[in-house]
Amino acid sequence: MPVDRLATGCQPLGFWDGMGLWEQWGINFFPRLGDTMCRAMGGATPGGIPDWLIFAILGLAGAFAVVNVAMLGVPYVILLERKLLGRFQHRVGPNRVGFFGLLQPMADGIKLMTKEDITPRVADKLVFSLAPLVFVVPVLLMFAPLPWAPHAVLADLDVGILYIVAVTSAAEIGVFMGGWSSNNKFSLFGAMRVVALVVSYEIPLVLAIVGVVMLTGSLNLAAIVEGQRFVPNLLWQPLGFIVFMIAVSAELNRAPFDLLEADSELVSGFHTEYSGMKWGVIQIGEYAAIIGFSGIIATLFLSGWKGPAPMPGYLWFVLKMGMIISGFIWVRATIPRLRVDQIMNLGWKFLLPLALINIFVTAGEILAYPDGLPVWLIPVNFAFAAIVVAVAARLLGIQGQPRQVVPAPPVFETMASS
């Protein structure tokens, strides 16, 4: 987004139905605060202060707010995960600190911060210290274009969803840095596995988004929410939703794709050597990514801030995010970890064809009904998705029969893919 376009004080800016930047903030984050500030500063051109400085200050304030929402969400997602996992395993979960264990994340945070921070003597110290930051910053950048409510968006990017895919792909560099600089073979193996996994699953991830983008005709996340007029995209895109969910849980290194810390094989993957708050930062990055990707799923497939009952937009949004996060935890508690070659097979032979089929079918539907898809297509879509998934799973099952194991060539041994 060009910087100048935003830096015009409290004049209506033309985008967002004549809503100015000030009003956007005022209405949704701090009730009427924007209006008051704007009037106090003397209207459209606040005297003496250059536009870009106002933009920078407002942008930093907004970024601070959004990052803190994400950061405060992380401990409670961790708590939710521990509680739910406990229930799934017929335990109670943490319940000692505070009511129902509500203060448990705080206790964990204090524990992490007071732990000794060990850097291995043979590590590449600079890269080792930078790796957690490089891992967590792309995840926080992901929150910028997420629309929390109508007009409540930090950066209303026209390339919104493309930006998110691009930014999240940069987090793998942090994984590589951590794995390499630890100077430990388990860390390096973990990093290489994870990067091979994430690179493979990024392709179906992007292709699954294409269906939604074709339905809406825009990459802008707010426009995608607006485009889901009566029903969420999930009903038009069941196949895309399945592919996207699986690809996202691989992207997040969640079970059943948690090669990142396949404890039985790799100690704990690329962050084996990390301890103390550096490990804590990596953990924050992982859980913030879960929150961010749930927000993206809610935006793309579950119509974001909209809902059937009159409730504030951000409440709907957070509710949908919570549902998706609980779904991820449910999957983690249910499905055992896949083997590396099984994961690669699933990505290339199952998800990729499914995503391509989804694009073709969506294109055909849009071509046949350019003025909006008819309602009877919804059950047809679901039936079609079920048939395609069943057939593809059957084919994958035949492919996955045990066969003679060929020893891997030496160069690929480190990638551990068959």
Q: In the complex, which residues of this chain contact other proteins (CB under 8 A)?
A: 1-5, 7, 50-53, 55-56, 124, 127, 157-159, 162-163, 165-167, 169-170, 172-173, 176-177, 180, 188, 192, 195, 199, 202, 219, 409-411, 414
Q: How far is CA 135 from the centre of its chain?
A: 13
3-class secondary structure, 152: strand
Describe the crossing of helices 276-301 and 104-114 by its angle, rounded to 10 degrees: 140
Q: How far is the CB of 258 from other proteins (least distance, A)?
A: 20
Q: Which lies closer to other proteins via its Cβ, residue 79 or residue 131? A: 131
Q: Which lies closer to other proteins via its Cβ, residue 166 or residue 267? A: 166
Cα–Cα distance measured from residue 190 to residue 179, given in angstroms and rounded to the nearest whole number: 7
Q: Which lies closer to other proteins via its Cβ, residue 177 or residue 289? A: 177
Q: Which lies closer to other proteins via its Cβ, residue 52 or residue 369? A: 52
Q: Which of 145, 326, 108 is nearest to 220 (CA)?
A: 145
Q: Which lies closer to other proteins via its Cβ, residue 1 or residue 107? A: 1
Q: How far is the CB of 53 from other proteins (least distance, A)?
A: 8
Cα–Cα distance measured from residue 5 to residue 231, given in angstroms and rounded to the nearest whole number: 33
Q: How far is the CB of 161 from other proteins (least distance, A)?
A: 9
Q: How far is the CB of 306 from other proteins (least distance, A)?
A: 24
Q: Which lies closer to other proteins via its Cβ, residue 206 or residue 234? A: 206
* 141 C-beta neighbours (distance < 10 Å), count: 20
Cα–Cα distance measured from residue 289 to residue 271, given in angstroms and rounded to the nearest whole number: 17
Residue 151 tokens, joined: 């007009």
Q: How far is the CB of 120 from other proteins (least distance, A)?
A: 16
Q: How far is the CB of 226 from other proteins (least distance, A)?
A: 16
Length reported for the chain: 418
Residue 269 in contact with residue 190, Cβ under 8 Å?
Answer: yes
